[in-house]
Amino acid sequence: MKVIKVDSKTPKIEDIRFAADIVKDGGIVAFPTETVYGLGADALDPVAVARIFEIKKRPSFDPLIVHVDSIYTIDEISSSFDERANILAEAFWPGPLTMVLPKSDIVPDIVTSGLDTVAVRMPSHVVAMELIRETGRPIAAPSANPFGYISPTTAEHVIEQIGGEVDLILDGGSCPVGVESTVLDLTGDEVTLLRPGGLSLEEIESMVGDVKILNAESERPHSPGQLPSHYAPRTPVRILEDGSFGPEPGQKAGLLAFTPPEGDLTAYLQVEILSSTGDLREGAANLFSSLHRLDRADLDVIYVMAVPEVGLGRAIMDRLYKAAGSKS
């Protein structure tokens, strides 16, 4: 494993070309995006993509997101890019929006888990965009962590979880959005929200009108992030929704709160606050780093105070419910 620190705004071209050569040769590179760190391979090389599944221990039925640097690349990997997709791309690309579209035959089945659709997004992070450009190919990239665990928002998170298994890590600092992209299905008559994320539902509906929200949790996902247990630390997570407050006697407990809570917190061994001012964007950006710190604190349980489910709060709670799902 090699780690290269890169400027998150003006990376050196030689560093990006070095990383691109690894990808073109079938290697795996972890790189920053505005949402989380991605584990990238040439999306059109099925052998390289298979290594992503191996490193992450990711189920083969869970499709990957394909990252592009230009809307023109869509014509290669999708058989249809309709007016709704154009409107959304013009409004929100580059950015934290993934669109599920009909796929073209050029996309290997391993990328889409055998589905006839492909999930595509254009990241806004300079390092990610330059890597795709220098590679000259779309890059398949799920989050750079073991499947089901907390997503990485710093290079240190990647190093801790899977560092020894990747060829290169581009360290571009902390990810500014901090939660994964919003995923929309555009293959039907209705625009459907498959996963809330870094772009709010309200912003999307301002461009395309009402969006259907998919509530059913799928055992065979149509996009990444749909499985009911996901984004989980190794420490059990419990969400405080019934007004209860405080750990049980003898528990080594931590607390994750959106804003500074009232009351006595001395029973908690560690407390993480997502935003001192109640800013949902700040809260989203701090979510996974806070969970990582709590997970390293040798606790019995992590208690979580619910976040208002408006705007980015919907994405934050989606991740927290799924983090709690495998431990409840």
Average pLDDT over residues 201-230: 75
Angle, CA of 140, 145 and 147, to the nearest 5°: 85
Between CA 118 and CA 99 the distance in angstroms is 8
Q: What confidence tens digit (pLDDT) does each residue in 163-193 have?
A: 999 999 999 999 999 999 999 999 999 999 9
pLDDT at residue 224 greater than cutoff 90: no
Yes or no: say if 283 and 305 are a contact pair by the CB < 8 Å rule: no
Nearest-Å Rg of the Cα atoms of the chain is: 19
Q: Where are the domains of the chain?
A: 2-213, 237-325
Q: In the sheet where 237-240 sits, what is the strand order?
A: 237-240, 301-305, 253-257, 270-273
Of the candidate CATH numbers 3.40.50.300, 3.90.870.10, 3.90.730.10, 3.40.50.150, the domain formed by 2-213 belongs to 3.90.870.10
Average pLDDT over residues 39-67: 91
* pTM reported for the whole predicted model: 0.86
- Of 29-38, 158-167, 317-326, give the lowest mean pLDDT range: 317-326
pLDDT at residue number 228: 57
pLDDT at residue 226 greater than cutoff 60: no
Q: What confidence tens digit (pLDDT) does each residue in 58-69 have?
A: 776 789 999 999
Q: What confidence tens digit (pLDDT) does each residue in 127-155 have?
A: 999 999 999 999 999 999 998 899 999 99
Q: Which of 37, 66, 257 is nearest to 157 (CA)?
A: 37
pLDDT at residue number 162: 96
DSSP state of 305: E
Fold for 237-325, please state it. Rossmann fold (3.40.50)
| Cα–Cα separations (whole angstroms), residue 76 to 46, 113, 202 | 16, 18, 30
pLDDT at residue number 52: 93
Q: What confidence tens digit (pLDDT) does each residue in 59-114 have?
A: 767 899 999 999 999 989 999 999 999 999 999 999 999 999 999 999 999 999 88
pLDDT at residue number 327: 40
pLDDT at residue number 62: 80
Query: Strands, DSSP E only, in the chain?
Result: 2-5, 29-31, 38-42, 65-67, 97-102, 117-121, 139-140, 168-171, 182-185, 192-195, 212-213, 237-240, 253-257, 270-273, 301-305
* Percent of all residues in the chain with a pLDDT value above 90, rounded to a whole number: 79
pLDDT at residue number 113: 87
For residue 242, name the pLDDT band (cuts at 50, 70, 90).
low
pLDDT at residue number 249: 87
